[in-house]
Amino acid sequence: MKLTTVLAKTLAAITLLFTTACGNHGDHHMMNAGETVIQGDLTVSGSWVRAAEPPAKTSAVYLTIDNAGTEADSLIAVSSELAEFTEIHQSLKEDGVSLMRKVKAIEVPANGSANLEPGGYHVMLINLNGEIAADETYSLTLTFEKAGEVVVKPLARKAKAGGHHDHH
Ligand SMILES: [Cu+2]
Taking the centre of ligand 1 as the mean of its atom positions, its distance from the CA of residue 56, in whole angstroms, is: 14
Q: What is the pLDDT of residue 160?
A: 66
Q: Give the mean model confidence (pLDDT) for residues 21-27.
A: 38
Residue 102 lies in a domain: yes
Measured in Å, residue 61 CA sits from the centre of ligand 1 at 9
145 CA from centroid of ligand 1 (Å): 22
Total domains, the chain: 1
How many Å apart are CA 118 and CA 62, to the nearest integer? 7
Residue 130 lies in a domain: yes
Distance 119 CA to ligand 1 centre (A): 9
Residue 71: inside a domain, yes or no? yes
C-alpha 57 – ligand 1 centre gap (Å):
12
Q: For position 135, which CATH number holds?
A: 2.60.40.1890
Say whether pLDDT at 165 is over 90: no
- The range of the structural domain enclosing residue 76 comes to 3-157
pTM: 0.77
pLDDT tens, 36-54? Answer: 999 999 999 999 999 999 9
Give the residue with greater pLDDT, 166 vs 49: 49
**162 within some domain:** no
